[in-house]
Amino acid sequence: MENDAKQTSLYERLGGTDGITTIAEEVIDAHMVNPSIKARFLPLKDNPEHLAEVRKHVIEFFIMGSGGPQQYSGKDMHSAHIGMNINQGEYMSVIDDVMSVLDKNNIDEQSKKDVLAILYSLKDQMIGV
Ligand code: HEM
């Protein structure tokens, strides 16, 4: 019973801090080469300090959002994406990249569904804002 998926936090199922750090890094790397959204992310490479900060925030966000022991120190999702006028297609591309990286890291189906539900719940904070 203790090892039942429902008893294990999403944070643990994603591999804890080390696993989530890898996942978050790979998601950002995937965005940088995804033809539909790379134009949004490639400019971050011009400012490595800022990119390092964004990477740190994305890692913290995943850890905190999955129930792990991490305070998120970045902007709220509306403030982080305001003025970008992100559309549905771009939002789906981000989700696609996340799901591919979860597959690559052998994350189970239930955990993928849990991540999808969290990302979906944030949709209105970043689309068209
Ligand atoms: C559910 C989906 C998403 C989540 C959870 C998410 C999460 C985040 C987080 C945590 C940050 C860091 C904020 C900070 O440093 O304070 C960030 C930044 C950013 N996001 Fe998203 N994001 C999502 C969707 C998108 C989409 C669809 C796009 C555009 C295609 C996008 C483009 C960006 C960019 C360009 C930045 C860097 C902003 C900056 O330079 O400060 N995000 N996102």
CA distances from 2 to 13, 14, 60, 112 (A): 13, 17, 27, 20
The answer, yes or no, to whether any atom of ligand 1 lies below 6 A from the CB of 122, is: yes
Are the beta carbons of 66 and 59 closer than 8 angstroms? no
Q: What is the pLDDT along the chain (129 residues), one digit of tens a residue?
A: 445 556 799 999 999 999 999 999 999 999 999 999 999 999 999 999 999 999 999 999 999 999 999 899 999 999 999 999 999 999 999 999 999 999 999 999 999 999 999 999 999 999 989
Neighbour-count burial for 14-24, b at 16+ CB within 10 Å, e otherwise: bbeeebbbbbb
Residue nearest to atom 21 of ligand 1 (CA): 81
ipTM score = 0.97
Q: How far apart are the first and last CA of the chain?
A: 44
10 CA to centre of ligand 1 in angstroms: 21
Flag whether 57 is marked binding: yes
Domains of the chain: 5-126 (1.10.490.10)
